[in-house]
Structure 1
Amino acid sequence: MVVDEMDLLSQELPGWSLNEREVAWLWLTLENRERIQMDECQLNSQTMRDQIARTLKRNPRVARGLERARDRELLPDEAFNWVEKSGRQPKWLVAQAAKRTGLRIRSSVFRTLTDKEQLIALLDLWNRDFGQKEISLRRLSDAWTEHARSDRIFRWFKDKDERAKCALAWSWLEKNKPRLTSRAEPFTKHTELLEFFDHSEASDGEKELYIEKIKRRWSTQKTREKAVEKKQYNFVLPLSVNAVLDKLAEEHQLSRTKVLEQLILREEQHEQYLPRNSPRDEPSEASSIGGAKSGAKF
């Protein structure tokens, strides 16, 4: 929003840029650190700015403290350049930052921020000095890199059967690990599955175990589906033919059923071995006519 350069807040804090980040920090600091009751309003609106200005005017000590804290506690914007604007990464980082800082911010203003902005706000509000925040942000970056390596566990889901595999995974987890699914939304694709496990508290070892069991369940399900397309036949073979069938199965490392299946399909395709019966002899047109004639003679 376009802000009047001479509004109350600009007069109260001359020399400040008072962009959305600074205004959010001022508001949330007054609410959470100073425990001052603020009336809910839209981020960086004129109403919000005026409320902050009046509060600081009534609390000059707080105003002086904020002046000092801004230079001591707010990392430069460039420090967050590696954080993506939206998506899975900033969501994970926000959850991790909340754990590390111990901050639980329930303000509606905080909830209107994007995930990246929430991460910045958490670091801004954390009552630590510049150096400690810098180290913590670097460790968060390293932690994300390490966490993203575990994505290899879930590569199996990313193919043409992605949705079916995800549906099976959710069903299995819901039945066997209800603690993980009780407060989560069902995932239907690979990216949603990754986000689910990002916040599941499951260790890498547990994730691998779950995925292996889901893979086995998938394999069993596919085997059953294929079996529906087949029918069992019982027939008697001469002992000599049975011996040949066993020999072929052993030589080609196939089951007896597979040997028969391939032989039948190849013969159907190439017609090399089974004799074809000649069409039944039918009287030619001439003989038919001749027969009629000789019949007429009688």
Structure 2
Amino acid sequence: MSRGEGALGRLMKMPPREITWLWNALSNDGIDFDDCQLNSLVMRQQIAGHLTPKLIAALEHAKDTQFLSEDEFRGVAKDGRQPNWLVRKALQVVGERRLPQPLTTLPIRQQVIAIFDLWSARLSDKKMALIDLEYAWREHLQHDELFRWFKEEDEKSKCLMAWEWMKKHLPQQTRNEPPFASHSELLEFFDRHDATQGEKELYVFKIKRSWSTRKTRENSPNKKQYNFVLTNDVNAALDKLAKEHKLSRTKILEQLILNEAETGLHLGQMLHKA
């Protein structure tokens, strides 16, 4: 068996965490790898060509000094919203904007682990950061209650309208984002954006108000919205009539116009005098 074949045989038995560490160590030494799946046979073959006893010794040392135990990652889900959220937040913790391309080919849970494995920090700091992130995720989930309304009747229509509202009023946040058309997709959208609780409440309030306005129009096909500019005196008189008769300003205007159209008493006299 050749040296290269022996190295590959050893690499084939290594878990993804160790392959990831070796790739990173060699990349930092200037080794240029072909684009491929990080945990693939092709990547292992490429790493095998650079495997040395010194590199293996460095890996063993890293496993003792840089790797948190598998048990400490027991709270990280295999897939779903949580590990995706943790990847983004863990990158913020370690001061990186995005994962290097090969790491993105790992399953999402392994991406979380890789970020911590490759982070140059003390094990105690890594452990505390992971605990803090898991706690922050549980707090983040409490905000889901705010979006329950979207999951109720007309879920798809509500979510599509929310997307249109966000796209119109918050173009920076929606740029390069896929439209959401379900409650789960809406939650994932807000997982990716660091809106405060107050901002989320404001967005939901305005979206609900837009929804209510739309429904009112749909349920009143014989009505159409008009905008009028009224003088202060006319506005005051309209408010006074509405208060006296305990009717809305719109209802007062409707009655006055319909009565005049039926009787022609006031406009006819006014125009005659003019």
Q: 2:75 aligns with which of 79, 82, 85?
A: 82
- The verdict on how the C-alpha distance between 1:42 and 1:181 changes in structure 2, with shifts beyond 3 A counting, is closer
Structure 2-normalised TM-score?
0.73
Q: Which amino acid aligns with 1:66?
A: L
Q: 1:92 aligns with which of 71, 80, 85?
A: 85
> How many residues are paired up?
227
Q: 2:186 matched to which residue of 1?
A: 193
Q: 1:52 matched to which residue of 2?
A: 47
What is the distance in 2 between the residues matched to 1:193 and 1:15?
42
State the Cα distance separating 1:61 from its structure 2 match. 4.9
Partner deviation per Cα, 1:199-241 (whole Å, 9 max, x = no partner): 12221111110110111111111111111178xxxxxxxxxxx
- The verdict on how the C-alpha distance between 1:214 and 1:25 changes in structure 2, with shifts beyond 3 A counting, is same
What is the distance in 1 between the residues matched to 2:133 and 2:217?
46
Partner secondary structure for residue 208 of structure 1: helix
What is the distance in 1 between the residues matched to 2:68 and 2:210?
49
What is the distance in 1 between the residues matched to 2:19 and 2:3?
13
Q: 1:217 matched to which residue of 2?
A: 210
Percent same amino acid among aligned pairs? 44
| 1:110 aligns to 2:103 (yes or no) | yes
State the Cα distance separating 1:17 from its structure 2 match. 5.8
Partner secondary structure for residue 49 of structure 2: helix
Partner secondary structure for residue 228 of structure 1: coil
Q: 1:36 matched to which residue of 2?
A: 31
Q: 2:21 matched to which residue of 1?
A: 25
Partner secondary structure for residue 56 of structure 1: coil
Q: 2:159 matched to which residue of 1?
A: 166
Partner deviation per Cα, 1:125-145 (whole Å, 9 max, x = no partner): 111122111111101101101
**Match runs of 1:1-298 below 5 Å:** 8=4, 18-31=14-27, 33-57=28-52, 61-104=54-97, 107-228=100-221
What RMSD over aligned residues (CA atoms) do the two structures have, in Å? Answer: 3.1
State the Cα distance separating 1:92 from its structure 2 match. 0.5
What is the distance in 2 between the residues matched to 1:95 and 1:191?
18
Which is bigger in relative contact order (C-alpha 8 A, separation at least 6)? 2
* Alignment check: 8 A CA contact 1:103 1:122 kept: no
State the Cα distance separating 1:154 from its structure 2 match. 0.6
* Alignment check: 8 A CA contact 2:19 2:44 kept: yes
What is the distance in 1 between the residues matched to 2:165 and 2:10?
60
> What residue ranges of structure 2 are gaps of 5+ in the alignment?
224-245, 249-274
What is the distance in 1 between the residues matched to 2:197 and 2:191?
10
What is the distance in 2 between the residues matched to 1:147 and 1:56?
43
- The verdict on how the C-alpha distance between 1:220 and 1:46 changes in structure 2, with shifts beyond 3 A counting, is closer
